[in-house]
Amino acid sequence: MELPKILIVDDDREMAETLANLFEKNGYVVSVALSGGEALEILKTGGNISLALVDLMMPLIDGIALMEKLKEVDPDIAVILMTGYGTIQTAVEAIKRGADDFILKPFDKNMILKKVGRAVEMCELREKVAKLQDQVDSISGFEEIVAISRKMREVVDKALVASQSDIPVLIIGETGTGKEILARAIHRRSQRRDKPFVPINCGALPKELIESELFGYKKGSFTGAIRDHKGLFVSATGGTLFLDEISEMPKDAQVKLLRVLQDGRVRAIGDTREIEVDVRVLSASNRPVEELKGQYLRKDLYYRISTLTIVIPPLRERREDIPLLAERFVRKYGEKYGHRLRIEKEVFSLLQDYPFYGNVRELESMIEGIIATAGEKKESLTVQDIKTIFKKHKSEGDFEQAREVTLYGTSALSLEQVEKFAIEQALRVAGGNKSKAAEILGISRDSLYRKIKRYRIPF
Protein backbone atom coordinates (compact mmCIF):
# COMPACT_ATOMS: atom_id res chain seq x y z
CA MET A 1 0.00 0.00 0.00
CA GLU A 2 1.38 3.44 -0.97
CA LEU A 3 2.31 5.58 2.03
CA PRO A 4 0.56 8.97 2.33
CA LYS A 5 2.62 11.91 1.07
CA ILE A 6 2.88 15.27 2.84
CA LEU A 7 4.35 18.54 1.59
CA ILE A 8 5.70 20.92 4.27
CA VAL A 9 6.05 24.54 3.16
CA ASP A 10 7.85 26.87 5.60
CA ASP A 11 10.64 29.42 5.06
CA ASP A 12 12.01 28.51 8.50
CA ARG A 13 14.31 25.59 7.63
CA GLU A 14 14.61 24.38 11.23
CA MET A 15 10.86 24.28 11.69
CA ALA A 16 10.35 22.49 8.35
CA GLU A 17 12.95 19.83 9.21
CA THR A 18 11.48 19.31 12.69
CA LEU A 19 8.06 18.67 11.19
CA ALA A 20 9.52 16.42 8.49
CA ASN A 21 11.24 14.24 11.12
CA LEU A 22 8.03 14.00 13.16
CA PHE A 23 5.92 12.83 10.22
CA GLU A 24 8.52 10.47 8.79
CA LYS A 25 8.70 8.72 12.17
CA ASN A 26 4.93 8.26 11.98
CA GLY A 27 4.90 6.59 8.58
CA TYR A 28 4.48 9.48 6.13
CA VAL A 29 6.51 10.28 3.03
CA VAL A 30 7.55 13.94 3.37
CA SER A 31 8.74 16.60 0.93
CA VAL A 32 9.98 20.00 2.15
CA ALA A 33 9.75 23.35 0.37
CA LEU A 34 11.22 26.60 1.72
CA SER A 35 9.24 28.86 -0.62
CA GLY A 36 5.96 29.00 -2.51
CA GLY A 37 7.62 28.56 -5.89
CA GLU A 38 9.48 25.48 -4.70
CA ALA A 39 6.22 24.05 -3.31
CA LEU A 40 4.41 24.47 -6.61
CA GLU A 41 7.27 22.80 -8.48
CA ILE A 42 7.24 19.82 -6.08
CA LEU A 43 3.47 19.43 -6.42
CA LYS A 44 3.67 19.45 -10.22
CA THR A 45 6.45 16.85 -10.35
CA GLY A 46 6.38 15.07 -6.99
CA GLY A 47 3.55 12.60 -7.45
CA ASN A 48 0.27 12.26 -5.61
CA ILE A 49 0.61 14.48 -2.51
CA SER A 50 -2.32 14.14 -0.10
CA LEU A 51 -1.70 17.12 2.18
CA ALA A 52 0.25 20.37 2.31
CA LEU A 53 1.19 22.00 5.63
CA VAL A 54 1.70 25.65 4.70
CA ASP A 55 3.11 28.47 6.83
CA LEU A 56 0.84 31.51 6.69
CA MET A 57 3.54 34.20 6.90
CA MET A 58 6.15 33.80 4.14
CA PRO A 59 7.97 36.31 1.90
CA LEU A 60 6.81 36.91 -1.69
CA ILE A 61 3.60 34.89 -1.33
CA ASP A 62 1.59 34.30 1.84
CA GLY A 63 0.08 30.98 2.87
CA ILE A 64 -3.50 31.72 1.73
CA ALA A 65 -2.38 32.83 -1.74
CA LEU A 66 -0.12 29.77 -2.04
CA MET A 67 -2.97 27.51 -0.92
CA GLU A 68 -5.13 28.81 -3.76
CA LYS A 69 -2.34 28.18 -6.28
CA LEU A 70 -1.76 24.67 -4.93
CA LYS A 71 -5.46 23.88 -5.33
CA GLU A 72 -5.36 25.17 -8.92
CA VAL A 73 -2.71 22.52 -9.63
CA ASP A 74 -4.49 19.79 -7.62
CA PRO A 75 -8.08 20.59 -6.53
CA ASP A 76 -8.14 17.50 -4.26
CA ILE A 77 -5.10 18.39 -2.16
CA ALA A 78 -5.83 19.12 1.50
CA VAL A 79 -4.18 22.20 2.99
CA ILE A 80 -3.55 22.98 6.66
CA LEU A 81 -2.28 26.50 7.38
CA MET A 82 0.23 27.14 10.19
CA THR A 83 1.08 30.37 11.95
CA GLY A 84 2.39 31.81 15.16
CA TYR A 85 0.40 35.00 14.68
CA GLY A 86 -3.08 33.59 14.36
CA THR A 87 -6.36 35.10 15.35
CA ILE A 88 -9.89 33.73 15.20
CA GLN A 89 -10.62 36.06 12.28
CA THR A 90 -7.58 34.80 10.37
CA ALA A 91 -8.58 31.17 10.93
CA VAL A 92 -12.16 31.81 9.80
CA GLU A 93 -10.93 33.60 6.67
CA ALA A 94 -8.54 30.74 5.88
CA ILE A 95 -11.30 28.14 6.16
CA LYS A 96 -13.61 30.26 3.98
CA ARG A 97 -10.91 30.47 1.32
CA GLY A 98 -10.59 26.68 1.20
CA ALA A 99 -8.20 25.60 3.97
CA ASP A 100 -9.00 22.24 5.53
CA ASP A 101 -7.70 23.26 8.95
CA PHE A 102 -5.67 25.87 10.83
CA ILE A 103 -2.90 25.25 13.40
CA LEU A 104 -1.22 27.69 15.77
CA LYS A 105 2.47 27.53 16.65
CA PRO A 106 4.01 26.27 18.90
CA PHE A 107 2.57 22.85 18.16
CA ASP A 108 1.49 20.05 20.41
CA LYS A 109 2.86 16.92 18.66
CA ASN A 110 -0.16 14.75 19.39
CA MET A 111 -2.54 17.46 18.24
CA ILE A 112 -0.81 18.08 14.92
CA LEU A 113 -0.48 14.34 14.23
CA LYS A 114 -4.18 13.92 14.93
CA LYS A 115 -5.19 16.78 12.62
CA VAL A 116 -2.90 15.64 9.84
CA GLY A 117 -4.05 12.03 10.20
CA ARG A 118 -7.69 13.09 9.92
CA ALA A 119 -7.03 15.23 6.85
CA VAL A 120 -5.06 12.47 5.10
CA GLU A 121 -7.77 9.94 5.95
CA MET A 122 -10.41 12.14 4.29
CA CYS A 123 -8.24 12.53 1.18
CA GLU A 124 -7.84 8.77 0.93
CA LEU A 125 -11.57 8.28 1.45
CA ARG A 126 -12.42 10.69 -1.37
CA GLU A 127 -9.95 8.93 -3.66
CA LYS A 128 -11.41 5.53 -2.75
CA VAL A 129 -14.94 6.82 -3.31
CA ALA A 130 -14.00 8.15 -6.76
CA LYS A 131 -12.42 4.84 -7.78
CA LEU A 132 -15.34 2.80 -6.51
CA GLN A 133 -17.79 5.12 -8.23
CA ASP A 134 -15.98 4.44 -11.50
CA GLN A 135 -16.30 0.70 -10.85
CA VAL A 136 -20.01 1.02 -10.05
CA ASP A 137 -20.67 3.14 -13.13
CA SER A 138 -18.92 0.55 -15.29
CA ILE A 139 -21.62 -2.02 -14.44
CA SER A 140 -24.26 -1.18 -17.04
CA GLY A 141 -27.73 -0.93 -15.56
CA PHE A 142 -26.50 -0.63 -11.97
CA GLU A 143 -25.28 2.97 -12.06
CA GLU A 144 -27.69 4.04 -9.30
CA ILE A 145 -26.55 1.35 -6.87
CA VAL A 146 -23.85 2.39 -4.38
CA ALA A 147 -21.93 -0.69 -3.27
CA ILE A 148 -18.69 -0.02 -1.41
CA SER A 149 -19.58 -2.18 1.58
CA ARG A 150 -19.22 -5.96 1.46
CA LYS A 151 -22.92 -6.50 2.13
CA MET A 152 -23.98 -4.28 -0.77
CA ARG A 153 -21.43 -5.83 -3.12
CA GLU A 154 -23.04 -9.19 -2.33
CA VAL A 155 -26.45 -7.67 -3.16
CA VAL A 156 -25.19 -6.41 -6.52
CA ASP A 157 -23.58 -9.78 -7.30
CA LYS A 158 -26.91 -11.56 -6.68
CA ALA A 159 -28.80 -8.97 -8.71
CA LEU A 160 -26.41 -9.42 -11.64
CA VAL A 161 -27.10 -13.16 -11.55
CA ALA A 162 -30.85 -12.51 -11.38
CA SER A 163 -30.69 -10.19 -14.39
CA GLN A 164 -29.42 -13.00 -16.63
CA SER A 165 -32.64 -15.03 -16.40
CA ASP A 166 -36.37 -14.69 -15.83
CA ILE A 167 -36.44 -16.34 -12.41
CA PRO A 168 -38.81 -14.73 -9.87
CA VAL A 169 -36.92 -12.57 -7.38
CA LEU A 170 -38.06 -11.47 -3.92
CA ILE A 171 -36.29 -8.36 -2.60
CA ILE A 172 -36.36 -7.91 1.18
CA GLY A 173 -35.40 -4.67 2.90
CA GLU A 174 -36.52 -2.02 5.33
CA THR A 175 -38.43 0.99 4.06
CA GLY A 176 -36.12 3.37 2.22
CA THR A 177 -33.34 0.89 1.43
CA GLY A 178 -33.89 1.08 -2.35
CA LYS A 179 -35.85 -2.04 -3.24
CA GLU A 180 -37.45 -0.50 -6.34
CA ILE A 181 -34.11 0.96 -7.47
CA LEU A 182 -32.60 -2.54 -7.33
CA ALA A 183 -35.60 -4.01 -9.18
CA ARG A 184 -35.22 -1.40 -11.92
CA ALA A 185 -31.50 -2.18 -12.16
CA ILE A 186 -32.24 -5.89 -12.63
CA HIS A 187 -34.75 -5.02 -15.38
CA ARG A 188 -32.33 -2.64 -17.15
CA ARG A 189 -29.65 -5.35 -17.18
CA SER A 190 -32.02 -8.08 -18.43
CA GLN A 191 -33.10 -9.13 -21.92
CA ARG A 192 -36.40 -7.34 -21.23
CA ARG A 193 -34.75 -3.92 -20.89
CA ASP A 194 -36.51 -2.54 -24.00
CA LYS A 195 -39.94 -3.53 -22.69
CA PRO A 196 -41.99 -1.88 -19.91
CA PHE A 197 -41.06 -1.85 -16.23
CA VAL A 198 -44.39 -1.54 -14.40
CA PRO A 199 -44.32 -0.95 -10.61
CA ILE A 200 -47.27 -1.21 -8.22
CA ASN A 201 -47.27 -0.67 -4.46
CA CYS A 202 -49.66 -3.30 -3.15
CA GLY A 203 -49.96 -1.51 0.17
CA ALA A 204 -50.93 1.82 -1.37
CA LEU A 205 -54.14 0.55 -2.99
CA PRO A 206 -57.41 -0.26 -1.22
CA LYS A 207 -57.86 -4.03 -1.17
CA GLU A 208 -61.00 -3.82 -3.33
CA LEU A 209 -58.98 -2.22 -6.16
CA ILE A 210 -55.90 -4.44 -6.20
CA GLU A 211 -57.44 -7.14 -8.42
CA SER A 212 -58.84 -4.70 -10.96
CA GLU A 213 -55.48 -2.91 -11.18
CA LEU A 214 -53.52 -6.13 -11.63
CA PHE A 215 -55.84 -8.13 -13.87
CA GLY A 216 -58.01 -5.46 -15.51
CA TYR A 217 -61.79 -5.30 -15.93
CA LYS A 218 -64.47 -5.05 -18.58
CA LYS A 219 -66.77 -2.11 -18.99
CA GLY A 220 -69.87 -2.50 -16.82
CA SER A 221 -68.42 -5.29 -14.69
CA PHE A 222 -68.96 -3.20 -11.54
CA THR A 223 -70.14 0.27 -10.56
CA GLY A 224 -67.72 2.84 -11.94
CA ALA A 225 -66.30 0.57 -14.67
CA ILE A 226 -67.19 2.96 -17.50
CA ARG A 227 -64.58 1.60 -19.91
CA ASP A 228 -62.36 -1.44 -20.40
CA HIS A 229 -59.13 -1.48 -18.36
CA LYS A 230 -56.43 -3.92 -19.44
CA GLY A 231 -54.61 -4.14 -16.09
CA LEU A 232 -50.95 -4.09 -15.18
CA PHE A 233 -50.13 -7.65 -16.22
CA VAL A 234 -51.19 -6.93 -19.78
CA SER A 235 -49.47 -3.51 -19.70
CA ALA A 236 -46.22 -5.21 -18.63
CA THR A 237 -46.31 -7.94 -21.28
CA GLY A 238 -42.79 -8.60 -22.55
CA GLY A 239 -41.34 -6.64 -19.64
CA THR A 240 -41.23 -6.70 -15.83
CA LEU A 241 -43.98 -6.25 -13.24
CA PHE A 242 -42.69 -5.08 -9.85
CA LEU A 243 -44.98 -5.95 -6.94
CA ASP A 244 -43.78 -3.72 -4.12
CA GLU A 245 -44.91 -4.53 -0.57
CA ILE A 246 -46.50 -7.75 -1.82
CA SER A 247 -47.06 -8.79 1.81
CA GLU A 248 -49.90 -6.23 1.97
CA MET A 249 -51.84 -7.98 -0.79
CA PRO A 250 -55.17 -9.52 0.41
CA LYS A 251 -55.19 -13.33 0.56
CA ASP A 252 -57.99 -13.69 -2.00
CA ALA A 253 -56.00 -11.62 -4.50
CA GLN A 254 -52.96 -13.79 -3.73
CA VAL A 255 -54.87 -16.87 -4.92
CA LYS A 256 -55.57 -15.24 -8.29
CA LEU A 257 -52.00 -13.96 -8.57
CA LEU A 258 -50.63 -17.44 -7.96
CA ARG A 259 -52.77 -18.84 -10.78
CA VAL A 260 -51.54 -16.16 -13.20
CA LEU A 261 -47.94 -16.90 -12.29
CA GLN A 262 -48.48 -20.65 -12.78
CA ASP A 263 -50.45 -20.51 -16.03
CA GLY A 264 -49.17 -17.33 -17.66
CA ARG A 265 -52.76 -16.30 -18.37
CA VAL A 266 -54.87 -13.51 -16.94
CA ARG A 267 -58.65 -12.99 -16.95
CA ALA A 268 -60.05 -9.52 -16.44
CA ILE A 269 -62.92 -8.97 -14.00
CA GLY A 270 -66.19 -9.44 -15.90
CA ASP A 271 -64.56 -11.22 -18.85
CA THR A 272 -64.90 -14.85 -19.86
CA ARG A 273 -61.72 -14.97 -21.93
CA GLU A 274 -58.16 -15.46 -20.72
CA ILE A 275 -55.27 -13.51 -22.20
CA GLU A 276 -51.80 -15.00 -22.41
CA VAL A 277 -49.13 -12.79 -20.84
CA ASP A 278 -45.33 -12.96 -20.86
CA VAL A 279 -44.27 -11.08 -17.75
CA ARG A 280 -41.26 -11.36 -15.45
CA VAL A 281 -42.34 -10.72 -11.83
CA LEU A 282 -40.12 -9.11 -9.22
CA SER A 283 -41.55 -8.71 -5.71
CA ALA A 284 -40.50 -6.80 -2.60
CA SER A 285 -41.42 -6.53 1.06
CA ASN A 286 -40.19 -4.65 4.10
CA ARG A 287 -41.06 -7.59 6.33
CA PRO A 288 -38.52 -10.26 7.28
CA VAL A 289 -38.70 -13.61 5.48
CA GLU A 290 -39.83 -15.52 8.58
CA GLU A 291 -42.94 -13.32 8.79
CA LEU A 292 -43.80 -13.64 5.10
CA LYS A 293 -44.20 -17.41 4.90
CA GLY A 294 -47.68 -18.30 6.00
CA GLN A 295 -48.35 -15.15 8.05
CA TYR A 296 -48.56 -12.52 5.32
CA LEU A 297 -48.24 -14.61 2.17
CA ARG A 298 -49.69 -17.97 1.25
CA LYS A 299 -46.85 -20.47 1.38
CA ASP A 300 -47.44 -21.63 -2.19
CA LEU A 301 -47.26 -18.01 -3.41
CA TYR A 302 -44.18 -17.30 -1.31
CA TYR A 303 -42.27 -20.20 -2.86
CA ARG A 304 -43.46 -19.21 -6.34
CA ILE A 305 -42.10 -15.63 -6.09
CA SER A 306 -38.88 -16.33 -4.13
CA THR A 307 -36.81 -18.56 -6.38
CA LEU A 308 -34.06 -16.07 -5.54
CA THR A 309 -34.24 -13.87 -2.44
CA ILE A 310 -32.08 -10.74 -2.15
CA VAL A 311 -31.86 -9.01 1.22
CA ILE A 312 -30.82 -5.34 1.11
CA PRO A 313 -29.11 -4.34 4.38
CA PRO A 314 -30.28 -1.22 6.22
CA LEU A 315 -28.04 1.82 5.87
CA ARG A 316 -26.81 1.47 9.47
CA GLU A 317 -25.26 -1.89 8.46
CA ARG A 318 -23.47 -0.45 5.43
CA ARG A 319 -21.96 2.72 6.88
CA GLU A 320 -19.05 2.63 4.42
CA ASP A 321 -21.54 3.60 1.69
CA ILE A 322 -22.72 6.78 3.41
CA PRO A 323 -19.98 9.19 2.19
CA LEU A 324 -20.50 8.18 -1.45
CA LEU A 325 -24.28 8.39 -1.11
CA ALA A 326 -23.97 11.84 0.46
CA GLU A 327 -21.67 13.05 -2.33
CA ARG A 328 -24.07 11.68 -4.95
CA PHE A 329 -27.10 13.42 -3.42
CA VAL A 330 -25.20 16.70 -3.12
CA ARG A 331 -24.40 16.53 -6.84
CA LYS A 332 -27.93 15.47 -7.75
CA TYR A 333 -29.71 18.23 -5.85
CA GLY A 334 -26.99 20.77 -6.59
CA GLU A 335 -27.91 20.33 -10.26
CA LYS A 336 -31.65 20.35 -9.51
CA TYR A 337 -31.59 23.58 -7.50
CA GLY A 338 -28.61 25.21 -9.23
CA HIS A 339 -26.63 25.42 -6.01
CA ARG A 340 -23.56 23.22 -5.70
CA LEU A 341 -22.12 22.74 -2.19
CA ARG A 342 -19.02 20.97 -0.96
CA ILE A 343 -19.29 18.71 2.08
CA GLU A 344 -17.20 19.52 5.13
CA LYS A 345 -15.06 16.49 5.97
CA GLU A 346 -16.40 16.23 9.53
CA VAL A 347 -19.92 15.74 8.13
CA PHE A 348 -19.11 12.22 6.92
CA SER A 349 -18.21 10.83 10.35
CA LEU A 350 -21.28 12.52 11.85
CA LEU A 351 -23.54 10.89 9.26
CA GLN A 352 -21.88 7.51 9.76
CA ASP A 353 -22.72 7.63 13.49
CA TYR A 354 -26.41 8.29 12.84
CA PRO A 355 -28.81 5.27 12.84
CA PHE A 356 -30.88 6.31 9.76
CA TYR A 357 -34.02 4.32 10.46
CA GLY A 358 -35.41 5.89 7.28
CA ASN A 359 -32.37 4.47 5.45
CA VAL A 360 -31.13 5.89 2.12
CA ARG A 361 -34.40 7.73 1.54
CA GLU A 362 -33.96 9.62 4.80
CA LEU A 363 -30.38 10.60 3.94
CA GLU A 364 -31.51 11.80 0.52
CA SER A 365 -34.40 13.84 1.95
CA MET A 366 -32.07 15.38 4.51
CA ILE A 367 -29.57 16.57 1.91
CA GLU A 368 -32.26 17.77 -0.49
CA GLY A 369 -33.79 19.87 2.29
CA ILE A 370 -30.46 21.52 3.09
CA ILE A 371 -29.68 22.36 -0.53
CA ALA A 372 -33.22 23.46 -1.41
CA THR A 373 -33.25 26.00 1.42
CA ALA A 374 -29.59 27.10 1.20
CA GLY A 375 -28.92 30.78 0.69
CA GLU A 376 -26.94 32.00 -2.31
CA LYS A 377 -23.83 32.70 -0.21
CA LYS A 378 -23.73 29.24 1.33
CA GLU A 379 -20.74 27.27 0.03
CA SER A 380 -20.60 24.15 2.21
CA LEU A 381 -22.81 21.51 3.76
CA THR A 382 -21.65 21.84 7.36
CA VAL A 383 -21.68 19.92 10.61
CA GLN A 384 -24.08 22.53 11.98
CA ASP A 385 -26.54 21.84 9.12
CA ILE A 386 -26.60 18.16 10.02
CA LYS A 387 -26.79 18.73 13.78
CA THR A 388 -29.74 21.08 13.28
CA ILE A 389 -31.63 18.38 11.39
CA PHE A 390 -30.73 15.75 13.98
CA LYS A 391 -32.14 17.97 16.72
CA LYS A 392 -35.39 18.32 14.78
CA HIS A 393 -35.65 14.57 14.31
CA LYS A 394 -35.26 13.46 17.90
CA SER A 395 -34.01 14.37 21.32
CA GLU A 396 -30.40 13.65 22.26
CA GLY A 397 -31.57 10.83 24.51
CA ASP A 398 -33.48 9.16 21.69
CA PHE A 399 -30.43 9.36 19.46
CA GLU A 400 -28.11 7.80 22.05
CA GLN A 401 -30.59 4.98 22.71
CA ALA A 402 -31.05 4.34 18.98
CA ARG A 403 -27.28 4.44 18.48
CA GLU A 404 -26.76 1.89 21.27
CA VAL A 405 -29.36 -0.44 19.76
CA THR A 406 -27.77 -0.06 16.33
CA LEU A 407 -24.13 -0.47 17.26
CA TYR A 408 -24.32 -3.07 20.00
CA GLY A 409 -27.31 -5.13 18.95
CA THR A 410 -29.25 -4.61 22.17
CA SER A 411 -33.02 -4.84 22.02
CA ALA A 412 -33.93 -1.91 24.24
CA LEU A 413 -36.85 -0.96 21.99
CA SER A 414 -39.96 -3.00 21.25
CA LEU A 415 -41.26 -3.40 17.70
CA GLU A 416 -44.04 -0.90 18.46
CA GLN A 417 -41.53 1.65 19.79
CA VAL A 418 -39.36 1.28 16.70
CA GLU A 419 -42.41 1.70 14.42
CA LYS A 420 -43.56 4.78 16.34
CA PHE A 421 -40.02 6.18 16.20
CA ALA A 422 -39.85 5.64 12.42
CA ILE A 423 -43.24 7.33 11.87
CA GLU A 424 -42.26 10.35 13.98
CA GLN A 425 -38.99 10.61 12.10
CA ALA A 426 -40.67 10.41 8.69
CA LEU A 427 -43.16 13.11 9.67
CA ARG A 428 -40.34 15.39 10.77
CA VAL A 429 -38.33 14.77 7.59
CA ALA A 430 -41.51 15.54 5.59
CA GLY A 431 -42.14 18.72 7.58
CA GLY A 432 -45.48 17.36 8.78
CA ASN A 433 -46.70 16.55 5.26
CA LYS A 434 -48.49 13.23 5.78
CA SER A 435 -48.58 12.26 2.10
CA LYS A 436 -44.81 12.71 1.82
CA ALA A 437 -44.27 10.90 5.13
CA ALA A 438 -46.33 7.97 3.87
CA GLU A 439 -44.21 7.90 0.71
CA ILE A 440 -41.00 7.91 2.81
CA LEU A 441 -42.31 5.00 4.88
CA GLY A 442 -43.59 3.11 1.84
CA ILE A 443 -47.16 2.79 3.17
CA SER A 444 -50.50 4.23 2.13
CA ARG A 445 -51.75 7.52 3.55
CA ASP A 446 -54.67 5.68 5.18
CA SER A 447 -52.25 3.29 6.91
CA LEU A 448 -50.23 6.23 8.16
CA TYR A 449 -53.33 7.91 9.63
CA ARG A 450 -54.27 4.68 11.42
CA LYS A 451 -50.81 4.34 12.92
CA ILE A 452 -50.71 8.02 13.96
CA LYS A 453 -53.99 7.51 15.77
CA ARG A 454 -52.86 4.18 17.29
CA TYR A 455 -49.63 5.64 18.70
CA ARG A 456 -51.21 9.01 19.55
CA ILE A 457 -48.56 10.89 17.63
CA PRO A 458 -49.17 14.67 17.87
CA PHE A 459 -49.07 15.67 14.17
Q: What is the model's pLDDT at position 118?
A: 83
Q: What is the model's pLDDT at position 87?
A: 61
- Structure pTM? 0.61
Instruction: For residues 344-360, give the mean pLDDT.
Output: 90
CATH 3.40.50.2300 range(s) for the chain read: 5-134
Statement: residue 406 has pLDDT above 70: no
What one-letter code names the amino acid at 222?
F
CATH 1.10.8.60 range(s) for the chain read: 318-455
CATH 3.40.50.300 range(s) for the chain read: 150-311
Statement: residue 9 has pLDDT above 90: yes
**How confident is the model over 273-323, as pLDDT tens digits?**
899 999 999 999 999 998 898 889 999 999 999 999 999 999 999 999 999
Q: Which CATH architecture has domain 5-134?
A: 3-Layer(aba) Sandwich (3.40)
User: Per-residue b/e over 156-191, b at no fewer than 16 CB within 10 Å?
Assistant: bebbeebbeebebbbbbbbbbbbbbebbbbbbbbbe
Q: What is the model's pLDDT at position 411?
A: 37
Statement: residue 183 has pLDDT above 80: yes
Specify the higher pLDDT residue, 148 or 183.
Answer: 183
Is 150-311 in CATH node 3.40.50.300?
Answer: yes
Specify the higher pLDDT residue, 3 or 433.
Answer: 433
CATH number for the region 318-455 comes to 1.10.8.60
